[in-house]
Amino acid sequence: MEDEILIEECEVAEKGFKEKPARVYADGIYDLFHFGHARSLEQAKKLFQNTYLLVGCCNDEITYKYKGKTVMNEKERYESLRHCRWVDEVIPDAPWVITQEFIDKHQIDYVAHDSLPYADASGAGKDVYEFVKYIGKFKETKRTEGISTSDMIMRIIRDYNQYVMRNLDRGYTRKDLGVSYVKEKRLRMNMGFKKLRERVKKQQEKVGMKIQTVAKTAGMHRDEWVENADRLVVGFLEMFEESCHKMGTAIRDRIQERLRTQQLKALLYDVWEDDDGDDDEDDELLYTDDQSLGYFSH
C-alpha cells in the first residue's frame, strides 16, 4: 500500500515538473573528470523536461577515508564540475551518505546515480543510496563502458616508464617525479636502445622495399631495363670519349702554336734559347688560357 502511494506521488510530481524545474541531485568523487562522468550528468539533466541539476562532490578528507587517495584535490574536482555544461550548481563537501536532512536543506526531488550499490560509511557493506531508494526518490542512470577513473589510473601505471621519460624530456627533474638516479639512467638507456632498434627496423624496411621494387622491375620488364641500362652506359662512354678527344686536340694545337712562335723568334734574332722562365710561363699559359680551353667546361 505504501509503495502504491509513493508511485502516485511520483507521478503527480513528474507532471508538475513540466512547469517548475525538478531539482535533481547527483553526487560522486569525480576524480580525473572524464566523458563518462559528463554522460551520467547529462542523463540526470535530461530526466525531466525542466531540470535543475545539483551535483555534490565529497571533500578530500571523506574521500581519503572511505575510498582512497585521489589524483586531483577537492578544489580541482569542484572546478571541473563547474565547467560541465549540464551542471547548474555544485555542492562542495557533500556527505558520503544522503540523509533526509540533506534532502530537505537543498529541496531535492530526486537523486540520480547508477544502480550499482556503494558501501556506506558504516563499513557494513550497505548501499549509500538505500535510504533514497526506499523513499522512492532514486533515478537510475547508466554507466559508460570502457571509461572510469580507475581505468585511467591503470593505464598510467601500466605505461609508467614511458610517462616518466615523457616528463623528463619535457623538463621535469627526477626529484619532481620521485625517481632515483639509477632509475633515471636505466630508463634513458632503455629508451635509447628502443629508439635505435626502431631506426634500424625502419631502415631495414626501406631497404627491403627498394630491393623488392628493383626485383619486381627487373622481373616484369627485364629486356627494357637491360636495354635502357646499356644505352645509358654507352651514352656516358661516348660523351666521355668525345670530351677527351676534344681536350687532346686542343692541347696538341696549343703546343704546336707555341713551338711555331719560338721558331719565329729564333729566325728573327738568330737565337735559340732554352728559357726556363719562359717555359714556365708558357706552361702556365698552356693550361690556363681560358679563351683556348673555355669550351671544355661545357
Q: What is the pLDDT of residue 5?
A: 45
**Cβ atoms of 71 and 32 closer than 8 Å:** yes
**Cβ atoms of 32 and 153 closer than 8 Å:** yes
Q: What is the pLDDT of residue 77?
A: 98
**Cβ atoms of 24 and 139 closer than 8 Å:** yes
Q: Residue 217: which H helix or E strand, with range?
A: helix 181-220
Q: What is the pLDDT of residue 272?
A: 47
**Cβ atoms of 85 and 113 closer than 8 Å:** no
Q: What is the pLDDT of residue 296?
A: 37
Q: Residue 154: which H helix or E strand, with range?
A: helix 149-158
Report the candidate in 91, 98, 92 with the shortest Cα–Cα distance to residue 127: 98
Runs of H (alpha helix) within 51-129: 60-66, 74-82, 100-105
Q: What is the pLDDT of residue 60?
A: 97
Cell numbers describing residue 182? 639509477
Q: What is the pLDDT of residue 93?
A: 97
CATH architecture of the domain formed by 22-146: 3-Layer(aba) Sandwich (3.40)
Residuewise pLDDT in 10s, the chain (298 residues) = 445 544 455 554 555 556 799 999 999 999 999 999 999 999 999 999 999 999 999 999 999 999 899 999 999 999 999 999 999 999 999 999 999 999 999 999 999 999 888 776 666 568 899 999 999 999 999 999 999 999 999 999 999 998 999 999 899 999 999 989 888 888 888 888 888 888 888 888 887 787 777 666 656 555 565 566 666 666 665 666 666 667 667 777 776 777 677 667 666 655 445 554 445 444 444 444 444 433 333 4
